[in-house]
Amino acid sequence: MSILIKEVFLNKEIVDVYIENGVFKKIGKSLNVEADQVISGKDRAIIPSFFNVHTHAAMTLLRGYADDMDLHTWLNNHIWPFERKLTPDDVYIGTKLACLEMIKTGTTFFCDMYWHVEAIAQAVDEMGIRAAISSAYVDFEDPKKGEYFQKKNREFFYSPPKVSSRVMFIMGPHAIYTVSKASLEWIRDFAQDMGLFVNIHVAETKKEMEDCKKIRGTTPVKYLDDIGFLNERCILAHVIWVDEEEIEILKNRNVKIAHVPTSNMKLASGSFKFDEFINKGLIVGIGTDGCASNNNLDMLEEMKIAALRAKMASNSPTSGKSDDIFRCATKNGATIFGIDAGEIKEGKVADCVLIDLNHPQMVPCHNLISNLVYAANGDVVTTTICNGKILMHNRYVEGEEEIIKTAKKQVKSILDRL
């Protein structure tokens, strides 16, 4: 399987890009090579595709269902009652809708935490993108529930579903206020033994921090560090309520950070200290979070919001520079999950997108990255390629009409069950 992209804009030059067996095999001027598929790169720029490092994909089904309330009311009174009704079929359809939206906006990887992981994996497999999928682990301090989740996780990881290697399975303790200490310790050991990534929400709200201080006598980050939970395989989402000393701890443990600026703003959770994390050298990726707290999965919009949020947080217009933000949304995401992508270079994994340089948001193009971060949204993406396979070309994804139709029908059926 090979693709030749003719005369595409890359780093201020017009080049040909030849992709073979999922990697960039050759990049140069006027390549003399034959390919299974040849596409024109005229008036297009090639850039790495986006890595959405934190979301709950099937929550596309809850887009616009509950807005404008605090996190705990939102979760307890609206989101969780809706989610309790979701079947594997609902999650499969919600995830396909999410994948469609991601492909249409140039994203080829997402890190997920949800229920019915087999259904998520099947959707990802069919849609052709990549994902790191975790099953939400929530025991609410109930030892019986803890045992149940441990048994489920053992069974699952000892014989995971057989799907494409584009799908990796990781662990997903929801948060320190929904998972007991005993369970967190079990996850710590199990993930260590199995070499698994762990995806968890940490220090998201002031309430979480204050409750943690009351119950555990310390802050969320220090609590996790005290129990030896933090290491290079941990991806922490939010991480708002932390001080300098805690950022130092996170750096020393080499944890990875999933920054979800829209969700943090929408739920008024607080302000992520972008500069402090970047300056300390922590690897920060960008995520959209789920569609109930965003309410879309467009990483181009998320980059702009991340950049603006960084400036607000530090009260300085030089914070959240477009090059840094772009790297967080692409290469850093790939690095966090050990995928050799995020750059258009020979030998790298061929996950990339083409950008329409004739789209009004891209004209003029004094600076490509500036346009992508500050001016554009996902509509500027014309072609999406993952693992050397074209998933969208000229803004069309095969089967998209059916996905939209099925999703609408499925949401009606969920509402009937509520």
Binding site for Zn ion (CB under 5 A): 289
CB of 56 to Zn ion, least distance (A): 6
Place of tokens 């971060």: 373
Alpha helices in 25-87 (DSSP H): 71-73, 80-84
C-beta closer to Zn ion: residue 289 or 298: 289
**Measured distance CA(175)–CA(220) in Å, rounded:** 9
Nearest approach in angstroms of CB 261 to Zn ion is 13
Residue (16 or 289) nearer to Zn ion, CB: 289
Q: How many residues does the chain have?
A: 418
Q: Write down the least CB distance from residue 226 to Zn ion, Å.
A: 24
Q: Kindly list the strands in the beta sheet with 284-286, ordered across the sheet, starting from the edge strand earlier in the chain.
A: 50-55, 107-114, 130-137, 167-173, 198-202, 234-238, 256-259, 284-286
* Residue found by looking up tokens 């040849």 in the block: 38
Tell me if 79 sits within 8 A of 62, measured CB to CB.
yes
User: Where in 174-230 does DSSP place strands (E)?
Assistant: 198-202
Closer to Zn ion by Cβ: residue 139 or 289: 289
Q: What is the largest CA-CA distance in the chain?
A: 68
Taking the complex as a whole, how short is the minimal distance between the CB of residue 175 and Zn ion, in angstroms? Answer: 9
Residue pair 24/350 in contact by the 8 Å Cβ criterion: yes
Nearer to Zn ion, 55 or 410 (CB): 55
Quote the least distance from Cβ 371 to Zn ion, whole Å. 29
Q: Rounded to whole angstroms, how far apart are CA atoms 129 and 251? A: 30
- Between helix 88-104 and helix 400-417 the angle, nearest 10°, is 140
Closer residue to Zn ion in complex, CB, 204/356: 204
Q: Pick the closer one to Zn ion by CB: 183 or 263.
A: 263
- The nearest distance, CB 289 to Zn ion, in angstroms, is 5
Does residue 251 sit in helix, strand or coil? helix
The CB-of-151 to Zn ion minimum distance in angstroms stands at 25
Residue nearest to Zn ion (CB): 289
Kind and range of the H or E run holding 385? strand 381-386
Q: How far apart are CA 175 and CA 234, in angstroms?
A: 13
CA–CA dist 44, 358 (Å, integer):
8
Which residue number, 262 or 383, has a Cβ lying nearer to Zn ion?
262
Read off the tokens for 88. 């594997």
Tokens 């979301």 label which residue? 55
For 316-334, letters b (16+ CB in 10 Å) and e give eeebbbbebbbbbbbbbbb
From the CB of 53, what's the least distance to Zn ion, in Å?
Answer: 11
- Our CB check for Zn ion shows the closer of 101 and 289 to be 289
Nearest distance from C-beta of residue 287 to Zn ion, angstroms:
8
Report which DSSP code applies to 49.
Answer: P
CB of 75 to Zn ion, least distance (A): 11
Determine the distance from the C-alpha atom of residue 98 to the mean position of all C-alpha atoms in its chain, rounded to a whole number: 11
What is the CB neighbour count within 10 angstroms for residue 91?
Answer: 25
* Shorter beta-carbon distance to Zn ion: residue 146 or 287: 287
Closer residue to Zn ion (CB): 289 or 356: 289
Is residue 226 within a helix (H) or strand (E), and if so which, with residue range? helix 220-226
